[in-house]
Structure 1
Amino acid sequence: MDALIFYTNPMSRGQIVRWMLEEVGVSYEQRLLDYPSGMKSAEYLAINPMGKVPAIVHDGRVVTECAAICAYLADAFPEAGLAPPTSDRADYYRWLFFAAGPVENAVTNHAMQWNPSPDQSRTVGYGSYETTIDALETAVAGKSFVANDTFSAADVYLGSHIDWGMQFGTIPQRPVFERYIAPLRERAAYRRAKEIDGALIAKAQRPADR
């Protein structure tokens, strides 16, 4: 099996990739990095010049950015069935990258209390926070999964944004979002990933022995 190295911090978007890795079901080497030193070390900056996690190195190939990593892993391990056939990926690509672009930007800016004026919304890619959240509701309304009625990497990524957003109050707890995310939280891979990162967070927060 090709070597797969996973660079992460449990209190980061690395949780998204952890879930994806658990869905894929392949073995990987975990490398935990802290924010002030590990992510800014020369060794890691050679992998990701942004000094951010997560990142993976698979058989010598570097992939960064959560959406890209999820899509890459789905293609690299097709036996997991986490990507639709290439001829049927319209919704898969559409909503995967909608979450990576408009949702990520709109939610972050709104949480930081910056919202574009009506004139600025013409230039800002997501238009407005409200428009983006309404479109996100459209993406999952009446669906078990966001693409082709089949669970995919797009659900890992989009679902993670909705899951976190509702937990931390950056995405409203609309009934449509609750119905979509509830079964995703019951997935065995989701639960394994949360257990792993939860244990790492608890260990990091434990007072040092004196």
Structure 2
Amino acid sequence: MTTDRVTLYHSPNTRSSSALLLLEELGAPYDLHVLDMRAGENRQPAYLAVNPMGKVPAIRHGEALVTEQPAIFIYLADLFPEAGLAPPLGDPLRGPYLRWMVYYGSCFEPAVVDKARELDAGPQAMSPYGSFEAVMGVVNDQLRRGPYLLGERFSAADVLWGMALAWTTMFKLVPETPEIAAYIARHTERPAVARVRERDAALAAGQSAAA
């Protein structure tokens, strides 16, 4: 187990909440560097030096600085192998695990954002995801085999997707099919989810009080 603490650059109730959830699921030693995005702290020079895109999450671990949510998940789950949330190299599930990590950022998020903005996916040969319906078809087909993305094995990919599907269905960006609803229910039952929600609520309340 690594002895270095992980610093998570975090803003409550954003994409970085899923990274916070992963740290909790891993039992990792971490510190939070909390940003108030409503006050524009993520656009200040200090944070732009961490992530020029001004986005969260980002993590610092020793000399390593990692941005982009799937990369952070892959890095952290491999960093704490004793938690058993990442199939190791040589495991037959390693490839499918990586597939679902990358599919999230390369297909799911672009498709959801385009759908929400009522934008066309673009020509098939140029679109990174094809169509929204195709993306969601793949997700639902996999969840139908459940209970998790890797079958019976819960992994860091489920931490990522559980949070993402809970948020996107809540805001009606993704249809809540029976498969997705059941998957979200399993996600919500995990004790770490309640801990993160409580912590985010307290952080958000503190930011509102300071505004």
Scaled by the length of structure 1, the TM-score of the pair is: 0.92
Code of the aligned partner of 2:69:
C
| 5+ long unaligned stretches in structure 2 | none
Q: Is residue 194 of structure 2 the alignment partner of residue 185 of structure 1?
A: no
* Partner Cα separation in structure 1 for residue 48 and residue 146 of structure 2: 40
CA contact (8 A) 2:77 2:85 kept: yes
* Partner Cα separation in structure 1 for residue 196 and residue 74 of structure 2: 18
CA contact (8 A) 1:3 1:28 kept: yes
Q: Where does residue 33 of structure 1 map in the other structure?
A: 35
1:38-187 to 2 correspondence within 5 Å? 38-87=41-90, 88=92, 89-116=94-121, 120-187=123-190
Which runs of at least 4 in structure 1 moved beyond 6 Å after TM superposition? none
Question: How far is the alpha carbon of 1:148 from its aligned partner?
Answer: 4.5
Code of the aligned partner of 1:30:
L
Code of the aligned partner of 2:25:
E
Q: Where does residue 203 of structure 2 map in the other structure?
A: 200
CA contact (8 A) 1:91 1:147 kept: yes
Identity rate, percent: 38
* Partner Cα separation in structure 2 for residue 178 and residue 78 of structure 1: 29
Query: Number of matched residues?
Result: 206
Question: How far is the alpha carbon of 1:37 from its aligned partner?
Answer: 3.6
Code of the aligned partner of 1:19:
L
* Partner Cα separation in structure 1 for residue 5 and residue 164 of structure 2: 28
Question: How far is the alpha carbon of 1:133 from its aligned partner?
Answer: 1.0
Query: 1:37–1:96: structure 2 CA closer, same or farther, 3 Å change rule?
Result: same
Code of the aligned partner of 1:107:
V
Code of the aligned partner of 1:50:
M
